[in-house]
Structure 1
Amino acid sequence: MLLLIPGPVQTRPETRAAMAQDIAPWDNDFRPVYAEIREMVRDIAGGVPGEHATMPLQGCGHFILEAAIRTFVPAGGTVLVPHNGAYADRAIRLATEAGRQVVSMPCPDTEGVSPAAIGAALAANPSISHVVMVHNETGSGIINDPGAVGPVVRAAGRRMILDSVSAFGALPFALAAHPEVDALVFTSGKCLEALPGSGYAVARTDRLLDCAGNAGSWSFDLSDIYQQALRAGWGSIRFTPAVQSLAAFRVALDFFMAEGGQPARLARYRENARILHEGVRSLGLTPYLDWAHQGPVIVTVHQPADPAFALQPFVDALKRRGVLISNFYNTRAPSFRVGCIGAIGPEDMRQAVAAIGGALDELGVRDRAARMPAAA
C-alpha cells in the first residue's frame, strides 16, 4: 500500500525494523542514542551549540506546540496567530485553553501570510508578546515564510514560536539567523520519514531558563526538560518515552543525512509535488493552489462538481488500487489531499495519478470542474 498522507508517512523497511526490539530507555547503552538525536536535530534546525538545545516530548504535534506555548508565553499573556488553515485554528484553541490570550489574524487559505500584515497587527497591539505561526498548512499545502515574517517580528521586539511540524527537514530554515524564535517545533513522523511518537522543540537555552515556571503543567514544561538535561545529562529522559520510535528516528536521521539533508529532501518532495500537480490537472481536476503558491508537502485538489463524486467512496476506490489518502478535508472549499512526503519518489506519484484517474472512472465522475462551497 502506498501511503500518501502528510504524516505518518511511508517509511523505509530499515526504519521500521529498528522498532522491533525491546529497549530500556534509561539503559546506559541507549543514553548515547538519545543524546545523538538531540544534537543531530539541533544541527538540522541550524541551531548553535550552547545557544540552542533540543527538548523532546512524547506525543504528537499538538503536544509539542502546546508545550512551547505554555513554556514561552506567560499565563494570561497574548499571542498573535495568523491563520490560513486548520492547524492555525488548532493553535488558537491550544493557546486559549492554556489560558493565553489570542489575537486572531484571518488570512486566505490560498496564499502565505503577509509580513506587512503581521507588522501592522503587532503595531496595533503592544500586549502581544509572541507570534505563533504554522510553517506549512497541511490542509491546503500553503507555506508561510518565517524567513520573511521573522525579521518583522524581531524589528517589533516580539518573539516567535514556529510550528514546523509538517515542514521541518524539507523547508529551509536556520535558527541561528532568527534570534526572535524561542522555539521551532516538529515531530518524528513527517519529513524526517520516521515513525510517529515523539515531538521536538529546538529552543533557545536562555529563554528556557528565563521561562521556568510558566507552563502550569509538569508534563508540558520544556524548561523542566532542559533542567533535567542539565542535571542528568543529554542522554537522560524525564518520563518514559516511545523508545522504539526514538530508535527508529535515529535510523531515519542517518538516511536523511545520506540523502543529502534538507536540500536533497526538498528537491525530491518538490518533484513529487510537481508530478502530482500536473497529473491531476491532466485528469481535468483543479489543484487547490496555483503552482506559484504550491508547497512540496501535500497537493490538495478541489473535489469535482459531479454528483457522482463522494469523498469516502473515492478514497475506497483509491485504496483498492493500492493508494491510501486522507478521508477528510479541512480547507474552506471541498477538497481531497495527497501527500508528497515520505520514502516515496516520482514513480510513486505517477502511480498515484493513474490510481486517481482509475478511481474517478470507476465512480463515473465525468464533470471534474471544481466543486465550490455553498454560499453562506
Structure 2
Amino acid sequence: MLLLIPGPVTTRPEVRQAMGRDLAPWDNDFRQFLARLRGRILRLAGGTDPAHAALPLQGCGHFVTEAALRTFLPPGGRILIPATGAYGNRMIRLAQEAGRVAVPLPMGPADAADPAAVARALADDPTLSHVGLVYSETGSGVIHDVPAVGAVVRAAGRRMIVDAVSAFGALPLDLSAQPEVDAVVFTANKCLEALPGIAFAVARADRLRACVGNAGSWSLDLADIYAGTLQFGAGSFRFTPPAQVLAALDRALDFLDAEGSAARLARYTANMRTLYDGVRGLGLVPWLPPERQGPVIVNVHVPDDPAWDLQAFVDALKSRGVLISNFFTTPAPTFRVGCIGAITPADMARAVQAIDAALTDIGVTHREAVHA
C-alpha cells in the first residue's frame, strides 16, 4: 500500500525491521544508544552541546507542542501565533487549554506569514513574550519563512517556538543561527521517515534552566526532562520510552544521512510537482497556486459533481493500492495527498493514475472545482 498522508508516512522495510527485537530501556547498552541518538537529532537541528539539548517525549506532535508552550510560557503568558491554518489554530487551542494567552495574527488561508505583520504586532503589544509559528502548515500546504519571521522576533527582543512537525528533516533549519528560538518541536514519523510514537524538542539550555516550574504538568515538562538529563545523563528517559520506535528512528536517520536533507527536500519537491501537475492534467484544481505550493502536502479542490463522495473516493483509491486521508482541513472541501515519506516521483505518477481511475469508479464525470 502506498501511504500518501502527511504522516505517518510510507517507510522503508529496513526501518520497520529495526523494531523486530525486544529492548530494555534501562539497560546500559540502550542508554548508550539513546545518548547517541539524541546527539544525532541535536546536530540535525543545527544545535550545539551544551548550548542546546535534544529532549525526547513519548507521543505525537501535539504532545510536544503543548509541552513547549507550557514550559517556555508561564501561566497567563502571552504568545502571538500567526493563524496559518488548521495547525496554527491547534497551536492556539493548545496554548489556551494550557492557561496561556494566545493572540492570533489573522492571515489568509493560502498566505505565508508576513514578517512585517509580525513585527508590527510585537511593536503594538509589548506584553507578548513569544511568537509561535508552524513551519509547514499541513492544513494548506504553505511553507512559512522561519528565518525571516525569526529575524523580526529577534530584533524585537522576543522569543520563538517553532512547530516543525511536518518540516524537520527536509526543510532547512539551523538553530545556531536563530538564538531567538526557545525550541523547535517535531516527530519521527514525517520527514524523518520513521514510525509514530516519539516526539522531540531541541531547545536552548539556558531557557530550559530559566523556565523550571512553568509547565504545571509533570508529563509535559521539557525543563524537567532536561533536569533529568543533567542528573542521569543523555541515555536516561523519564517514564517508559517507546524503545523499539527509537530503534526504528535510528535506522531511519541512517537513510537520511546517506541521502542528505537537501536531496530529501529535492525528492519531496519532485514528488509534489509530479502530483500537482498530474492532477491538473486530470482536470482537477489544486488548492494553492504553484508559487505558494510547498513540498509536503497537496490539497485538491473536490469536483463539482453530485457523484463526489470523499469516503467513496478514498475507498476506491485504497482498492488500487493508494491510501490518502478521509478528511480535509482547508476552509473549502478538498482531498489531501501527502508527498513525503519513502516514495519517489514514480510513485506519485502511479498515484495520479489511481486518482483518475478512482474518480471514474465512483461516477465523477465533471472534475472542475466547487470553490476554485
Distance 1:305 1:37 in 2: 49
Residue 37 of structure 1 and its aligned partner are, at CA, apart by 1.3
Q: In structure 1, what is the equivalent of residue 351 of structure 2?
A: 352
Paired residue type of 1:340:
C
Paired residue type of 1:369:
E
Task: Note the alpha carbon deviations across 1:156-197, whole angstroms, 9 max, x for none.
Answer: 111000000000011101001100000000001000000000
Structure 2 spans left out of the alignment, 5+ residues? none
Task: Note the alpha carbon deviations across 1:87-143, whole angstroms, 9 max, x for none.
Answer: 111111110010001111121121211111111111111110010111111111111
Task: Note the alpha carbon deviations across 1:250-279, whole angstroms, 9 max, x for none.
Answer: 1001111011x2101101100000000000
Paired residue type of 1:210:
A
Q: In structure 1, what is the equivalent of residue 316 of structure 2?
A: 317
- What's the secondary structure of 1:128's corresponding residue? coil
- Listed as ranges, the matches of 1:11-30 within 5 Å are 11-30=11-30
Q: In structure 1, what is the equivalent of residue 184 of structure 2?
A: 184
Residue 247 of structure 1 and its aligned partner are, at CA, apart by 0.7
Residue 84 of structure 1 and its aligned partner are, at CA, apart by 2.0
Q: In structure 2, what is the equivalent of residue 77 of structure 1?
A: 77
Paired residue type of 1:202:
V
Runs of 4+ aligned structure 1 residues displaced above 4 Å come to: none
Q: In structure 2, what is the equivalent of residue 98 of structure 1?
A: 98
| 1:200 matched to 2:200 | yes
Paired residue type of 2:147:
G
Distance 2:187 2:147 in 1: 21
Distance 2:45 2:330 in 1: 29
Moved more, 79-88 or 349-358: 79-88
- Listed as ranges, the matches of 1:104-115 within 5 Å are 104-115=104-115
Q: In structure 2, what is the equivalent of residue 336 of structure 1?
A: 335
Distance 1:121 1:272 in 2: 37
Structure 1 spans left out of the alignment, 5+ residues? none
Q: In structure 1, what is the equivalent of residue 269 of structure 2?
A: 270
TM-score (norm 2): 0.99
Residue 200 of structure 1 and its aligned partner are, at CA, apart by 0.3
Q: In structure 2, what is the equivalent of residue 281 of structure 1?
A: 280
Distance 1:133 1:150 in 2: 9
Distance 2:36 2:111 in 1: 37
Distance 1:343 1:32 in 2: 28
Q: In structure 2, what is the equivalent of residue 299 of structure 1?
A: 298
Distance 2:41 2:108 in 1: 32
TM-score (norm 1): 0.98
Distance 1:361 1:204 in 2: 53
- What's the secondary structure of 2:193's corresponding residue? coil
- Listed as ranges, the matches of 1:240-259 within 5 Å are 240-259=240-259
Paired residue type of 2:330:
T
Q: In structure 2, what is the equivalent of residue 117 of structure 1?
A: 117
Residue 36 of structure 1 and its aligned partner are, at CA, apart by 1.3
| 1:2 matched to 2:2 | yes
- What's the secondary structure of 1:16's corresponding residue? helix
Residue 238 of structure 1 and its aligned partner are, at CA, apart by 1.2
Residue 354 of structure 1 and its aligned partner are, at CA, apart by 0.2
Paired residue type of 1:180:
E
Distance 1:307 1:37 in 2: 51
| 1:210 matched to 2:202 | no
Distance 2:319 2:106 in 1: 39
Residue 153 of structure 1 and its aligned partner are, at CA, apart by 0.5
- What's the secondary structure of 1:238's corresponding residue? coil
Number of equivalent positions:
372
Identity of aligned residues (%): 62
